[in-house]
Amino acid sequence: MSPRTKSATRKHRSVEVIIPDKLYFRIGEVARLCRLPAYVLRFWESEFPQLKPVKSSTGQRMYRRRDVESVLRIKKLLYEDGFTIAGARGQLREELKSERDQTALPFPIRPSVNVAHLRHELREILHILSARR
């Protein structure tokens, strides 16, 4: 590895970024936090559908915390993991898909059976309580 490549790799190494507890961040704040030029953030908005900052009434980009987290994830994929933009886009899509699969609530196949059992148990409790009077 040439000295130039080593310094470029070192430059993009992940540093733990502490995201302040705020609702919105302006593009300059996100650029400083993520150590990226603002034009890169604007370009990534056009390339990554999950990166959609809202615009204020004055037209300023206002990034939410999840947008900042997305920027950091995209940066890692591109600069550290060596993904192309298309590859990073696909990787994020896969991660989102697996997140959805994991967070889906496992509903019972026959919920009416459980509700009927619960109703029966509640009636028994009511019967016990009313017998105590």
CATH number at residue 84: 1.10.1660.10
| pLDDT tens digits for range 51-73 | 999 999 999 999 999 999 999 99
pTM over 0.85: no
Question: Average pLDDT of the chain?
Answer: 83
Q: What is the pLDDT of residue 47?
A: 96
Range of the domain at 30: 3-131
* DSSP state letters, the chain: --HHHHHHHHHT--------S-S-EEHHHHHHHHT--HHHHHHHHHH-TT---EE-TTS-EEE-HHHHHHHHHHHIIIIIS---HHHHHHHHHHHHHHHHHHHS----S-HHHHHHHHHHHHHHHHHHHHHT-
Q: What is the pLDDT of residue 121?
A: 85
Q: Average pLDDT in the 28-40 region?
A: 96
Better pLDDT: 105 or 59: 59
Using the predicted structure, report yes or no on whether residue 28 has a pLDDT greater than 80.
yes
Better pLDDT: 100 or 93: 93
Using the predicted structure, report yes or no on whether residue 113 has a pLDDT greater than 80.
no
Number of domains, the chain: 1
Q: Which of 30, 65, 60, 58 is nearest to 44 (CA)?
A: 30
Structure tokens at 10: 């070192």
